[in-house]
Chain A
């Protein structure tokens, strides 16, 4: 028996070769995606403790870790509260960036601060801080910057009582300040401070100073280590730091409606996946062709009127009014001379006379029509063409009438 169908093996081989490109493409994309996933730093958050970019805190976090400070990051007040209860001696850093912590939690932190726990507010959002930290705190002016964008270096100041600030002596960073009674790093007006002591804890309003970019400027590093517990004094004790960044996590779920998904019947997801499977089945059942697509080798074919149509468009684009009138005139002269049996190459004047006689029209008008016409515009051309057609129609009718009488 002669084999007329391709064997199963060759079908698989040809399918593999047909899909080869796409398979390679898919594998390539997967590999590239995996590599970028692996190489990418996990933290891209501004002031993030893992962020190694210019705006990150990775350098500071690493030094703190070397000094035995364990940083516990949290994003919700609930978790922070648990950690506070768990670790009574851990310091708290509240990094406020846009999201506001719960008021209840601020009150709790005030109590903690009064009980002697280290609380540090880190934020350049001084307006927000002044609302959070009580009526005694007001938003102060921004740290002035020099001509080249370099921020002014601020001295610790004589009123400063904080050992870390004293040790650091100066800071240099863009940021803002708070108007409070006591603090360190006063501004020029002497009333606002970059490191302010409030009734809820210390507030440092130039968080930019501790970024990977600025940490080595002036006394920034010393201040950071002093504030965050990495100072040599604490070196022997392994302490921990609760690093709380308020986020939307606290508000979600608290005062919200229940998700409609929670009220679905138990079989919903199974049915969903089953119907998805059915959709796949439908695709395959409907998409399977009966054999290859059959093509039709069509013969070439060109509309015959196309060249005449193109020439008409060319006349119009060139505004060839006179030439067009001339063509129409000669065409009608030819047809009229044939109709009136005047023979080839008859004189236009003779044709005009014969036509006027046949149609019973005014000789003057017919002669004017068939002699060189004065055509200036498109409107003239249209009326001229229609007049010619009308004349020919009249002559045809008259000739036909006369011949039927004969």
Chain B
């Protein structure tokens, strides 16, 4: 290969051609000779050993520096360029770097990555271009040493986590919870303060508490039950590939499962995650070793939308394999799709019989905007189509509600928060 310096040199040599045109062949052979000598005298890029480390997982949108060690095993000093072949969505800032490696020494090449997409991103090769001492020509070789980076979903809804956790803590040991019965656990006894439900006064404890100071009414407090089970079922079928705004439905669903998973794990519940299309694509459980959020993120990063119809019929079986106890089953899917009638609805009775089922879905804000635009004839027809889609979605939601299923629908950014609120409400009312 030849460099631009070779081009500038040959353009400069055009002056010699003008001054002494009769020596054309001499100038030509001189130029070619220089190039050939330079190419032969460069350090061999083939005799470079490439060692790549395994970078830790990183969230989408965050930056990381990945390192590659280049060792010059040849006898000459290697000067030139190295290019790391990261795929475009890895967002490599400086994949092409100048390198100088003395003979027998090694150097570290660091590439800054800012991945924009979750999943397994990779660089399959690194290209070493070695230049001769004159920099006119050189040799180039591709070393096929792969390096992969596990990119976890962005988890932008992380910002909701502190506020939701605080609300959970408020529930925990909160003032006398009015609703008694199944689903609440006895926490402690404390003095009655004005505003507490009189029905929660524990008369026996009050009788024991009598002293000289006078009357003390004692109330029982309750706290939300712990060690409940939450099963997150993520539909990664063709409906999840639909793009709403800038991102596919799946991304919003992943964000939602991450927030709810993190929240429930903090609340002391056991969380299982299940992504499926025709078959189960990824699973994670809070009973696994390690921080659950990392486990869940790693599992979620492997999920990509598949262009197949979801097979809901396996869902009761998969859930039964996870637990036989009553659980909160959260199904993240699309409610506006007619396929729900054939897919999810027939299997719902089997689920609602045993578990509490919540269906969470992303609402398309585009439909609302389209239904409101009514300036031209085409817009009116499009508005009617959008209204129709919304009516159908509402009908499906009503049908689900009639079967005892809680339906949470929100726009992509609002869905994680909305589902977390639903979870907290269910927990507070002891319906888990």
Interface residues of A (CB under 8 A from B): 1, 4-8, 266-267, 270-271, 273-275, 277-278, 281-282, 284-286, 288, 290-292, 294-297, 299-305, 307-313, 315-316, 324-325, 327-328, 330-331, 334, 344, 378, 381-382, 385-386, 389
B157: interface (CB < 8 Å): no
Q: Are B384 and A285 in contact (CB under 8 A)?
A: no
* In-complex Cβ contact of A5 among B18, B46, B307 (8 A): B46
- Chain B residues, Cβ within 8 Å of A270: 17-18, 21, 24
Q: Are A308 and B370 in contact (CB under 8 A)?
A: yes
Q: Which residue of A lies closest to B390 (CB)?
A: A331
- Chain A residues, Cβ within 8 Å of B21: 266-267, 270-271
Q: Are B1 and A288 in contact (CB under 8 A)?
A: yes
* In-complex Cβ contact of A389 among B18, B372, B386 (8 A): B372
Interface of A is mostly: helix
Give 8 nearest A-B pairs by CB, closest first. A291-B127, A312-B382, A267-B21, A312-B385, A331-B387, A290-B83, A304-B242, A311-B385
Can you spell out 8 A-B residue pairs with CB atoms less than 8 angstroms apart? Answer: A1-B49, A6-B144, A290-B140, A302-B242, A310-B385, A327-B388, A344-B398, A385-B383
- Chain B residues, Cβ within 8 Å of A328: 380, 383-384, 387
| Chain B window 1-43, contacts with chain A (Cβ cutoff 8 Å), 1 for yes, 0 for no | 1111011001101100111010010011000000000000000
CB distance from A10 to the nearest CB of B (A): 12
- Chain A residues, Cβ within 8 Å of B73: 1
Q: Are B87 and A311 in contact (CB under 8 A)?
A: no
- Chain A residues, Cβ within 8 Å of B388: 308, 311, 327, 331
**In the bound complex, how far is the Cα of B85 from the Cα of A292, in angstroms?**
8
Q: Are B144 and A4 in contact (CB under 8 A)?
A: yes
Q: Are A324 and B17 in contact (CB under 8 A)?
A: no
Q: Are A313 and B145 in contact (CB under 8 A)?
A: no
- Chain A residues, Cβ within 8 Å of B49: 1, 4
- Chain B residues, Cβ within 8 Å of A1: 49, 73
Q: Are B391 and A386 in contact (CB under 8 A)?
A: no
Q: A290-B81, A312-B381, A389-B374 are in contact. Are A302 and B243 (CB under 8 A)?
A: yes
Q: Are A275 and B14 in contact (CB under 8 A)?
A: yes
**In the bound complex, how far is the Cα of B387 from the Cα of A385, in angstroms?**
12
Q: A5-B142, A327-B384 are in contact. Are A290 and B243 (CB under 8 A)?
A: no
Q: Are B17 and A282 in contact (CB under 8 A)?
A: no
**In the bound complex, how far is the Cα of B31 from the Cα of A273, in angstroms?**
14
In this complex, the interface size class of chain B, counting residues with CB under 8 Å from chain A, is 35 or more
Q: Are B367 and A5 in contact (CB under 8 A)?
A: no
Q: Are B305 and A305 in contact (CB under 8 A)?
A: no
Q: A291-B142, A334-B394 are in contact. Are A382 and B87 (CB under 8 A)?
A: no
**In the bound complex, how far is the Cα of B398 from the Cα of A304, in angstroms?**
22
CB distance from B96 to the nearest CB of A (A): 6
| Chain B window 117-139, contacts with chain A (Cβ cutoff 8 Å), 1 for yes, 0 for no | 10100011111110000000000
B6, B48, B119, B387: most-surrounded residue (chain A CB, <10 A): B387
CB distance from B256 to the nearest CB of A (A): 16
Q: Are A291 and B85 in contact (CB under 8 A)?
A: yes
Q: A5-B141, A301-B241 are in contact. Are A281 and B46 (CB under 8 A)?
A: no
Give B368-401 interface residues, CB cut-off 8 Å to A.
Answer: 370-372, 374-378, 380-391, 394, 398
- Chain B residues, Cβ within 8 Å of A281: 2, 6-7, 10
**In the bound complex, how far is the Cα of B45 from the Cα of A8, in angstroms?**
11
Q: Which residue of B lies closest to A297 (CB)?
A: B87
Q: Are B367 and A308 in contact (CB under 8 A)?
A: yes
13 extra interface residue pairs, beta carbon distance < 8 Å, beyond A284-B2, A301-B305, A308-B388: A1-B73, A271-B14, A278-B7, A291-B83, A294-B85, A294-B123, A304-B366, A305-B366, A312-B381, A312-B383, A327-B388, A382-B377, A386-B374
B21, B73, B378, B384: most-surrounded residue (chain A CB, <10 A): B384
Q: Are B4 and A285 in contact (CB under 8 A)?
A: yes
CB distance from B292 to the nearest CB of A (A): 26
Q: Which residue of A lies closest to B12 (CB)?
A: A278
**In the bound complex, how far is the Cα of B370 from the Cα of A303, in angstroms?**
14
Q: Are B383 and A299 in contact (CB under 8 A)?
A: no
Q: Which residue of A lies closest to B1 (CB)?
A: A288
Q: Are A316 and B50 in contact (CB under 8 A)?
A: no
Q: Are A324 and B2 in contact (CB under 8 A)?
A: no
**In the bound complex, how far is the Cα of B4 from the Cα of A222, in angstroms?**
75
Q: Which residue of B lies closest to A320 (CB)?
A: B381
- Chain B residues, Cβ within 8 Å of A344: 398
- Chain B residues, Cβ within 8 Å of A8: 46
Q: Are B381 and A324 in contact (CB under 8 A)?
A: yes
Q: Are B87 and A324 in contact (CB under 8 A)?
A: no
Q: A315-B381, A328-B383, A382-B377 are in contact. Are A292 and B14 (CB under 8 A)?
A: no
**In the bound complex, how far is the Cα of B383 from the Cα of A327, in angstroms?**
10
**In the bound complex, how far is the Cα of B248 from the Cα of A302, in angstroms?**
8
**In the bound complex, how far is the Cα of B382 from the Cα of A382, in angstroms?**
12
| Chain B window 239-255, contacts with chain A (Cβ cutoff 8 Å), 1 for yes, 0 for no | 00111100011000000
**In the bound complex, how far is the Cα of B374 from the Cα of A309, in angstroms?**
14
Q: Which residue of B lies closest to A305 (CB)?
A: B366
* In-complex Cβ contact of B6 among A271, A285, A301, A382 (8 A): A285
Q: Are B2 and A271 in contact (CB under 8 A)?
A: no
Q: Are B243 and A285 in contact (CB under 8 A)?
A: no
CB distance from B419 to the nearest CB of A (A): 19
CB distance from B275 to the nearest CB of A (A): 14
- Chain B residues, Cβ within 8 Å of A295: 87
* In-complex Cβ contact of B377 among A4, A267, A316 (8 A): A316
**In the bound complex, how far is the Cα of B45 from the Cα of A7, in angstroms?**
11
CB distance from B202 to the nearest CB of A (A): 40
Q: Are B50 and A382 in contact (CB under 8 A)?
A: no
**In the bound complex, how far is the Cα of B137 from the Cα of A71, in angstroms?**
61
**In the bound complex, how far is the Cα of B11 from the Cα of A166, in angstroms?**
77
- Chain A residues, Cβ within 8 Å of B249: 304
Q: Are B243 and A312 in contact (CB under 8 A)?
A: no
Q: Are B378 and A327 in contact (CB under 8 A)?
A: no
Q: Which residue of B lies closest to A299 (CB)?
A: B304
Q: Are B367 and A382 in contact (CB under 8 A)?
A: no
CB distance from B302 to the nearest CB of A (A): 12
- Chain B residues, Cβ within 8 Å of A389: 372, 374
